[in-house]
Amino acid sequence: MKPKGESSSFFDQCIKKIAKERVVLDLGTFYSFRKQLKKYEDLFKQSKYFSMDYKISKNYGPYTPNVDGNIMELPFKSGKIDAIICKDVLEHIPEPQKAVREMHRILKKGGKIFATVPFIHPYHGSQSEKNRDYWRFTQDGINFLFKDFEKVEIRAAGGAFIALRSLMPSRIEKALQRQPFLAIINFLDKAFRTRSTTSTYMIWAIK
On whether residue 136 sits in a domain, the answer given is yes
Instruction: Judge whether 166 lies within some domain.
Output: no
Q: Is residue 173 part of a domain?
A: no
Provide the CATH number for the domain around residue 22: 3.40.50.150
Cα 20 from Cα 147, distance rounded (Å): 25
pLDDT along the chain (207 residues), means of 10: 54 97 96 94 96 94 96 97 98 97 98 97 86 95 98 90 84 87 85 81 97
Number of structural domains in the chain: 1
Helix (H) or strand (E) holding 116: strand 107-118
pTM for this one? Answer: 0.89
- Let me know if residue 20 belongs to a domain: yes
Q: Is residue 177 part of a domain?
A: no
Range of the domain at 33: 10-159+195-206
Backbone angles phi, psi at 52, to 5 degrees: -130, 135
Say if 134 falls within a structural domain: yes
